[in-house]
């Protein structure tokens, strides 16, 4: 079952179960996917966004909510921070399992060797390779410095 179908079936189930917070988050996900579908149609793509693009949307939504939760905590609004965290939990149900530290290191090393990266100038190639293979499975904000360290020291 593709991601779009999984989100829609979860949305219907949340309606049946009268889970208001979950339903609202699933509607936000659906709206974000539909926005991208409309943008894709404007660019001549008739079939809409792919699962990889949906994963990118979900990753972006998670990142936004993490930043918001942190800002709310710093502002003393723990109730709003908690709501953001609840939304993150719902969004993350549709993301693949996040890679652990050893797996991240292995993936970075594999991407460096497969692209033939030799210096920091090749960082873009390595990051593109990782984004192609691991969208939704790693935080690219954390991976960037790892790639940089490997390229500078190697």
Please tell me whether residues 10 and 70 are part of one structural domain: yes
Band (70; pLDDT cuts 50, 70, 90): very high
Give the pLDDT score at 96: 81
Band (1; pLDDT cuts 50, 70, 90): low
Structure tokens at 71: 């800002």
Please tell me whether residues 68 and 124 are part of one structural domain: no
Report the candidate in 141, 30, 138, 29 with the shortest Cα–Cα distance to residue 91: 29
Band (20; pLDDT cuts 50, 70, 90): very high
Give the pLDDT score at 152: 83
Domain interval for residue 107: 101-153
Last residue of a domain, one of 39, 66, 92: 92
Band (13; pLDDT cuts 50, 70, 90): very high
Please tell me whether residues 73 and 112 are part of one structural domain: no
Say what the pTM is: 0.72
Report in angstroms the alpha-carbon separations of 92 from 39, 85, 113: 24, 10, 30
What's the alpha-carbon Rg for the chain, to the nearest Å?
A: 18
């Amino acid at each position: 079952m593709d991601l779009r179908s999984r989100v829609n079936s979860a949305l219907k189930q949340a309606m049946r179960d009268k889970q208001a917070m979950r339903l609202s988050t699933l509607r936000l996900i659906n709206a974000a996917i539909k926005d991208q579908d409309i943008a894709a149609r404007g660019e001549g793509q008739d079939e809409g966004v792919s699962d990889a693009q949906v994963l990118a949307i979900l990753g972006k939504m998670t990142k936004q909510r993490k930043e918001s939760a942190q800002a709310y905590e710093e502002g003393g609004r723990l109730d709003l921070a908690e709501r953001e965290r609840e939304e993150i939990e719902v969004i993350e149900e549709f993301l693949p399992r996040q890679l652990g530290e050893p797996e991240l290191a292995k993936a970075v090393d594999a991407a460096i060797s497969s692209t033939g990266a030799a210096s920091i100038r090749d960082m873009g190639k390595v990051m593109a390779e990782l984004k192609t293979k691991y969208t939704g499975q790693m935080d690219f904000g954390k991976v960037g410095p790892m790639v940089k360290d490997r390229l500078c020291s190697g």
